[in-house]
Amino acid sequence: MTTVNAANTPSQALLDAMNTKKSSTASVDEAQNRFMTLLVTQMRNQDPLNPMDNAQVTSQMAQLSTVTGIDKLNNTLETLINNVQMGQSYQASNLIGRSVLTPGDTIQTSGEAGYFGIELPIGADKVKVNIKDGSGATIRTIELGKQDAGTIPLTWDGFKDDGTTAPAGNYKFEVEATIGSNTAAATTLSFAKVLSISNYSTGVKLNLSNLMTVDTTAVKEIF
């Protein structure tokens, strides 16, 4: 015979009845119906010499209210998260076709100007950018001098240090920043166009023209 758990914690039978994984409101109603069926069955099959008292019935109903409330809260939170992600998608869609600076160390040139940037968490006395070819050799050094903290958009004119034009393609660059004789922190930023957006379980991501996929929080500047 099924016994009634009069403890304050939900009975295992109640938890089993409520734990069917569905996201719709109908699942909550179905769980309530299953619980009521279980409770009526318990009452019909109770021991006549030791019948259920009002406290036991009240405890069972309280358990139903608690577990049902948790299930409804989970559904509400799931809906809220979906709505927030949808709102983020709409906002991120406004970036499609725009150009952005995001963490990266590549510059693309077609024989003309190449755009990139750096980010300094604190100011630096001297900042220098070294642009390198595919073999790792430095082909152009750009002295920026003293710079304040913040995001700094930069342009490379496409020329090497010897005055010749660098072939079209992708190049790497490094930043050297110093304060006095000490090295200062600096982040390299790549320039790219936003082609599309994607929704992931972790949030909205931007698909860029440089084949990178980044979080919207990685955008340092928009053009």
Q: Kindly state the helix (H) or strand (E) to which residue 15 belongs, with its residue range.
A: helix 12-18
pTM of the model: 0.63
Indicate whether 91 pLDDT > 90.
no
CA atoms of 116 and 61, how far apart (whole Å): 64
CA atoms of 26 and 71, how far apart (whole Å): 12
pLDDT of residue 93: 86
- Let me know the angle formed at the C-alpha of 155 by 152 and 156, rounded to the nearest 5 degrees: 135
Considering the domain delimited by 103-191, tell me its CATH architecture.
Answer: Sandwich (2.60)
| 34 Rama class: left (phi>0) / alpha (psi -120 to 50) / beta | alpha
pLDDT of residue 9: 46
pLDDT of residue 3: 40
Find the range with the poorest average confidence among 71-85, 161-175, 189-203.
Answer: 71-85
Q: What is the mean pLDDT of residues 21-44?
A: 65
pLDDT in tens, 45-89: 766 656 666 666 667 667 766 766 777 767 776 766 665 666 667
Q: Supply the mean pLDDT for the chain.
A: 81
Q: What is the mean pLDDT of residues 115-135?
A: 96
Extents of the domains making up the chain: 12-93, 103-191
| 63 Rama class: left (phi>0) / alpha (psi -120 to 50) / beta | alpha
Higher pLDDT, 193 or 92: 193
